[in-house]
Chain A
Amino acid sequence: MRRVTVRGLLARKLRLALTALAIVLGVTFVSGTLVLGDTLNRTFDDLIGTAYQHVSFQIRGKAAFGNNNATAVNSTADRKPIPESIAAAVRRVPGVAYAFGSVGGYAQFMARDGSAIGKGGTSTLGFSFDPNPQLSPYRLLQGRAPTAAEDVVMDKATAAKYHFAVGERVLVDLPDRPQTFTISGLVTFGSDNNLAGVTLAGFDPPTAQALFNSRGYYNTISVLAAPGADTVKLQRAIAAILPAGAEVVSGQTVASELSTAVNNGLSFISTALLIFALVSLFVGGFTIFNTFSITVGQRTRELALLRLVGASRRQVFRSVVGEAAVTGLIASLVGLGLGILAALGLKALLKAFGIALPSAPLVFEARTAVVAIAVGVGVALLSALIPARRAVRIPPVAALVEQSEVETVLVRRRQVIAGIAMVLVGVVAFVAGLTKPDIVLVGVGALAILVARGLLLPLVARPLSSALGRPLARLLGTPGQLGRENATRNPRRTAQTATALMIGLSLVSTIAVLGASLSSSAKNSVDSALSADYIVSGKGGFSKSVVADVSRLPGVTTTTVVYQGRFEVRGSLSTLVAASPAELSRTVTLHTTAGTGAPAMAAGELLVDTNTADADHLHIGSTVPVKFAQTGPTTMRIGGIFKANPLLGSYLTGDGFFLSHFDNPLPIAVLLSRAPGDHGLDGALGRALKPYANVSFKTRAQFEASQQASVNQLLGLVYVLLALAILIALIGIVNALMLSVFERTHEIGLLRAVGMKRRQVRAMIRSESVIIALFGAVVGLVIGTLVGVALASSLRNKGVTNVAVPLPSLIGFLVLSALLGLGAATWPARRAANLDVLAAVAAE
């Protein structure tokens, strides 16, 4: 019986190759994601290892929020700075060989043409350069350490890429204002030319303290223990001299905290990619299921013959499942190999959509191979189970009777009612699960929709395909009509073949509806929250001098400075947005439902949005406990409740209060209004912002557009990732068509014999393909749009105020599906057209 399996595999090489391709692509995606994830983790772990290689201890402010949770660890803004004097005291502790206090902050190099180097925000690092190499991860490669206030050291990568040399001048944008420095030396991070793509600007420590507004303080103090010192005793000795609010931890602790935080951040990317990989595999599973179903159908006589000559049910079952297992295994191995290429491709893709990741040699863990093979073989086995069960039910007598391919599907009222009920249950559970979020509910919903598909799709396949095929039949005449008949002759097969595409397109259209709703809501929230004429913003925070430079421009009537920082409110970490309350109504529209807006902000009171107020039962006059990293716990009085708007966040206060609780925060935006009728501000603003390469201004319309563009960019990334699932679905159509052509050899031969031209044969197969694709697309788009609308409506509280159905996009997807169907038919059509007529009619 094993020989039968093997022979069976060999006899159907082509078909299996196509089936396997679906698994190959899915496994490629999975293993590529794993390789990429491992590579990124390894890269950052290595970097962190380098940074803390020699650090015995680090002294730092205690984490202000939560129980030292990993995400809070990385941010120095969430820890109190350490007074300078501590460093001197620590140096005197016996067993301490060396201690260095460091500060860091925003320092953006400017290229010679005045543009910002790097992507702004977190891709730049300014720090105090430690000339003593014992602790420092930075290695001076060329020149000398910064010693004077105008000195800076630059990372080698930036210097090489932007042609800077030691001794040359460079403009650096800093928290207060841009300044020109002299490059005193070039540095590397360990042996790397920069820190994972982050530009490095190192200053003389006192200069750094001044630039980053930390005069008299350090962010952290790194300690090197003397050789042979008892580290436990030493740590205790250091802890003894620290003030309350500061702590001493080992270098390894810091490194592992950091690496946990980074890995958590990266795992988001991996998880997102894995979800798309699983979607691909899921769709691939349907392709395999369909192929095996058709082959079992076609092999009815062969399998019955095996049973007739004495094969047991178990042997037939094993034969079918064995075929699937071998296919799955081979496909997984190929996919695993291609996964390495996929990792590079995914990285390039993320980069293309603005998520830059450091470059490093790829890391291939044994776990990747295990997961990839398990998933690939598992999907293949699962998909073959139902066809295998069908195979064992074939009675031996089937070997002796003719069978007809044309199948009729009886419409049963119960089936229809059950199907529709399942759709409703599915959509409700799916949406409820996603909004909660509750993964079990999502799963139940998806399962219900799938079951409903199984119940309903074969029933609608004939009428719907027939209707979709009508224009084709009219356009192409008899070949079109025949294609239409072929697409409807076996509704169950048509439904199965179209399912993969249906799933792909329902995801695409869900995302499209969600994206359009987000985009439209973004516009809406800008319209209803901003009245400013100009929005000045950067990538992250920017120099405070920007505020002064733009506010003094003639024609600017109101300047509102916006800050943002983390604080703990009623025990949970949240974001506090602050704005200058003066003439606030000219730049920001606050729809207060209770209390006041600007006056409450000016009074240092807390404003909450309606959602938060409702959820937490907050009223005007209630006081809530809050906690700030720098100043500790206090209480705030609720001074106003405003209509929720995602642009404003949930918590607002005045800038006066904010600045007294945050250490030198950087503004994140400046909102400007101009005198009525004054239109000449664009040029003046452009000139004023010229020195700040990473700061730009937008009119309200431009700001709206940019908010929408960022939604669309994300949408684009999702589409690209879903494209693989669509591709696999197409392979399924190719496969099913090839099988149909094979199955209808006689019929095509007959058609050719009575005068069908090759061109007409091709047109017939293409019509069938296009109809199947359109059928899958129409059902998918309808389901996807329903789910999308339901999802978008359920996110009303989360800022999705508008539900929009992007009709042009959906029609575009439909047209694209038809074209893809046309493409999928190319090979089967050619094969059908080139059938040997004589062999086809003579093969009895």
Chain B
Amino acid sequence: MTAPRVPHTLPAMLTNSLEAAMALTSKRSDGPAARALDLIKTYGTGEVEVRALDGVSVEFERGRFTAVMGPSGSGKSTLMHCMAGLDAPSSGSAFVGDDEIGRLDDAGLTELRRDRIGFVFQSFNLVPTLSAAENITLPADLAGETVEREWFDALVVQLGIAERLSHRPGELSGGQQQRVACARALIGRPELIFADEPTGNLDSNASAEVLEFLRRAANEHGQSIAMVTHDPLAAAYADRVLFLADGKVVGELSSPSADAVLAHVRRLGG
């Protein structure tokens, strides 16, 4: 299997407007979108102590799509939670841009998540009482801001959900729901999108749609993305794959193919 190619199907005009919008985003500082420094996360104490993270230091480069792979219990989700400000590490520090998130209080963390991070979870991504459109604009609405109309329109066209905007999540397929979640993650042009097993509940077609979209978001709009997955096929969409096992970074692949990822996983497992 080869690495997926980015299709060029958007009308030129739309692409232009996206590029114009991108120009705004690129004003940000040049360092990594997020990084972790010697993160340690332990649960329990003494005999029953579990080290979910055992001194992890990683960087998620700006404008790139990074996948974090590992078997269950490898600490990949914990890493993401700590870096997104959803969980606090036992020691070490995590940064989004240049800001250390350990220094933020609950309100600061909330604003960080709202304004600078996008989330795509495995399931339960959408608020069931809100329409697709309302779900997409939710973070902006919570901040009391309005979304850029053109960006919104471009996103929903690109994601193929323009016709479904007034529907509630219950009336959407799993794939459509995940695409709405992607739109919500992207609408605010966050510094980093965290995707936690975004295709874990999807069939292969729907998975491919979501992953291709994330790939394009990185390519065309320079969106930084960190995705946790245990699926080598999904990881193959990334620019770079980090392998975690027993709370440690145990390997890395650049521009991987699915086969290379699989081979690497096998090697680690063996």
A and B are interacting partners: yes
Question: What per-residue 1/0 map shows which CB atoms of B108-142 lie under 8 Å from chain A?
Answer: 00110111000101111111111000000011011
A838, B113: Cβ atoms closer than 8 Å:
no
Evaluate contact between A756 and B124: CB separation under 8 angstroms: no
B144 at the interface (CB under 8 A from A): yes
- Determine whether the beta carbon of A750 is less than 8 Å from that of B124: yes
Interface CB pairs A-B, < 8 A, 27: A404-B128, A477-B141, A478-B138, A478-B141, A479-B142, A485-B130, A486-B129, A746-B124, A747-B124, A750-B126, A750-B127, A751-B127, A752-B110, A753-B113, A753-B119, A754-B113, A754-B119, A754-B139, A754-B142, A755-B115, A755-B143, A756-B142, A757-B107, A757-B110, A758-B110, A841-B121, A841-B124
Q: Does A842 contact B (CB under 8 A)?
A: yes
> Closest approach, in angstroms, between the C-beta of B169 and any C-beta of chain A?
9
**A750 interface neighbour in B107, B121, B144, Cβ under 8 Å:** B121
Restricting to B68-83, which residues have a CB under 8 Å from any CB of A?
A: 77, 81
Partner of B87 from the list A479, A751, A756, A838 (CB cut-off 8 Å) is: A838
- Interface centre among A751, A753, A758, by most B CB within 10 Å? A753
Shortest distance from the beta carbon of B143 to any chain A beta carbon, whole Å: 7
At the interface, yes or no: A113 with Cβ under 8 Å from chain B?
no
| Given known contacts A838-B81, A838-B87, A842-B81, A406 and B110 CB-to-CB distance under 8 angstroms | no
Q: With a CB–CB cut-off of 8 A, which chain A residues contact B203?
A: none
Contact of B113 with A755 in the complex, beta carbons under 8 Å: yes
Report Cα–Cα, A87/B28, bound state, in Å.
Answer: 116
Count chain A CB atoms within 10 A of each CB in B77, B128, B168 and give the residue with the most: B128
The 10 closest A-B pairs by CB, nearest first: A755-B114, A485-B129, A478-B141, A746-B124, A838-B86, A755-B139, A838-B87, A757-B110, A754-B139, A755-B113
Q: CA of A756 to CA of B119 in the docked complex: distance in angstroms?
A: 13
Q: Say whether B123 contacts A844, CB under 8 Å.
A: yes
Among B81, B121, B130, chain A packs the most CB atoms within 10 A around the CB of B121
Query: Which A residues touch B86, using CB under 8 A?
Result: 753, 837-838, 841
- Chain A residues with CB under 8 A of B87: 838
Q: How far is the CB of A119 from chain B (nearest CB, A)?
A: 59
Residues on the A chain within 8 Å of B142, using CB? 478-479, 751, 754-757, 760
Q: Does B251 make an interface contact (CB < 8 A)?
A: no
Q: Chain B residues with Cβ under 8 A from A752's Cβ? A: 110
Query: Which of B119, B125, B129, B139 has the most chain A CB atoms closer than 10 A to its own CB?
Result: B129
Q: What chain B residues lie within 8 Å of A838 (beta carbons)?
A: 81, 86-87
Of residues 738 to 773 in A, which have CB atoms within 8 Å of B's CB atoms? 746-747, 750-758, 760
Known: A478-B142, A754-B139, A754-B142; 15 extra A-B contacts, CB below 8 A, are: A404-B128, A477-B144, A482-B127, A489-B129, A747-B128, A750-B121, A750-B124, A750-B126, A752-B110, A755-B110, A755-B115, A755-B138, A758-B110, A760-B142, A838-B81
Most B-side CB within 10 Å, residue of A404, A755, A837, A841: A755
Q: Name the B residues within 8 Å of A760 (CB-CB).
A: 142
Measured in the bound complex, the distance between the Cα atoms of B232 and A54 in whole Å is 104
Residues of B within 8 A of A746 (CB): 124
Give the residue of B123, B141, B168 whose beta carbon is less than 8 angstroms from that of A406: B168
Residue ID in chain A nearest B87 by CB atoms? A838
Residue A46 is within 8 A (CB to CB) of chain B in the complex: no
B170 at the interface (CB under 8 A from A): yes
When distances are taken between beta carbons in the complex, the residues of chain B under 8 Å from A614 are none
A527 part of interface (Cβ distance < 8 Å): no
CA distance A750 to B143 in the complex (A): 15
Tell me, yes or no, whether B106 is within 8 Å of chain A by CB: yes
In the bound complex, CA of A489 to CA of B130 (Å): 10
Does any Cβ of A come within 8 Å of B221's Cβ?
Answer: no
A405 at the interface (CB under 8 A from B): yes
Provide the bound-state CA to CA distance between A405 and B168, in Å: 13
Residues in chain A near residue B81, CB distance under 8 A: 838, 842
- In-complex Cβ contact of A756 among B110, B168, B170 (8 A): B110
Q: Are A750 and B110 in contact (CB under 8 A)?
A: no
The minimal Cβ–Cβ distance linking B177 to chain A, given in whole angstroms, is: 12
Nearest chain B residue, comparing its CB with the CB of A745: B124
> Is B51's CB within 8 Å of the partner chain A?
no
The answer to whether A842 touches B77 (Cβ under 8 A) is yes
**A406–B170 contact, CB under 8 A?**
yes
B141 neighbours in A (Cβ, 8 Å): 477-478, 481
Residue of B nearest to A479 (CB): B142
Q: Which residue of A lies closest to B138 (CB)?
A: A754
The answer, yes or no, to whether B215 is at the interface (CB within 8 Å) is no
B248 CB-CB contact with A under 8 Å: no
A:467-496 near B, CB below 8 Å: 477-479, 481-482, 485-486, 489
Cα of A844 to Cα of B114 in the assembled complex, Å: 22
User: Which of B87, B110, B168 has the most chain A CB within a 10 Å cutoff?
Assistant: B110
Against A, the Cβ 8 Å flags (1 = close, 0 = not) of B87-120 are: 1000000000000000000110011011100010
Given A753-B86, A754-B113: A844 in contact with B129 (beta carbons within 8 A)? no
A603–B121 Cα distance when bound, in Å, is: 97
B216 CB–A CB distance under 8 Å: no
**Closest approach, in angstroms, between the C-beta of B152 and any C-beta of chain A?**
16
Q: How far is the CA of A842 from the CA of B123 in the complex (A)?
A: 10
Measured in the bound complex, the distance between the Cα atoms of B85 and A158 in whole Å is 75
The CA of A754 and the CA of B141, in the complex, are separated in Å by 11
Minimum distance in angstroms from A683 CB to a CB of chain B: 68
Chain A residues near B35 (CB-CB < 8 A): none
In the complex, the answer to whether B130 meets A754 with C-beta atoms within 8 Å is no
> Which residues of A lie under 8 Å from residue B125 when comparing CB positions?
750
Determine whether B189 belongs to the interface, using a CB cutoff of 8 Å to chain A.
no
CB <8 Å contact, B119 and A747:
no
* Bound form: Cα–Cα A52–B82 in Å: 86
- B184: interface (CB < 8 Å): yes
| Across-interface contacts of B106 in A (CB, < 8 A) | 758
Instruction: Give the docked Cα–Cα distance between A756 and B109 (Å).
Output: 10
A479 to B134 CA separation, bound complex (whole angstroms): 12
Which residues of A640-663 have CB atoms within 8 Å of chain B's CB atoms?
none
Q: List A contacts of B128 (CB < 8 A).
A: 404-406, 489, 747
Per-position 1/0 for A820-842, Cβ under 8 A of B: 00000000000000000110011
What is the minimal beta-carbon distance from A462 to any residue of chain B, in angstroms?
12
Residues in B with CB closer than 8 Å to A479 are 142
Residue of A nearest to B130 (CB): A485
Q: B113, B121, B170: which contacts A404 (Cβ < 8 A)?
A: B170
**Which residues, 385 to 434 on A, are CB-close (under 8 Å) to B?**
404-406
Asked, given contacts A482-B129, A760-B142, A837-B86, whether A844 binds B115 with beta carbons under 8 Å apart, the answer is: no
Chain A residues lying within 8 Å of B122, measured Cβ to Cβ, are 844
List CB contacts (< 8 Å) of A200-259 with chain B. none
Tell me the nearest residue of chain A to B134, going by C-beta.
Answer: A481
CA distance A486 to B129 in the complex (A): 7
**Which residue of A has the minimal Cβ distance to B168?**
A406
Are B123 and A754 neighbours in the complex by a CB distance under 8 Å? no
Q: Report the Cα distance A119→B102, complex, angstroms.
A: 72
- Report how far A754 CA is from B107 CA in the complex, Å: 13
In whole angstroms, how far apart are the Cα atoms of A36 and B125 in the complex?
58
In angstroms, how far is the closest chain B Cβ from the Cβ of A381? Answer: 34
CA distance A54 to B124 in the complex (A): 84
Across-interface contacts of A755 in B (CB, < 8 A): 110-111, 113-115, 138-139, 142-143
State the Cβ distance, A375 to closest chain B Cβ, in Å: 40
Residue of B nearest to A751 (CB): B127
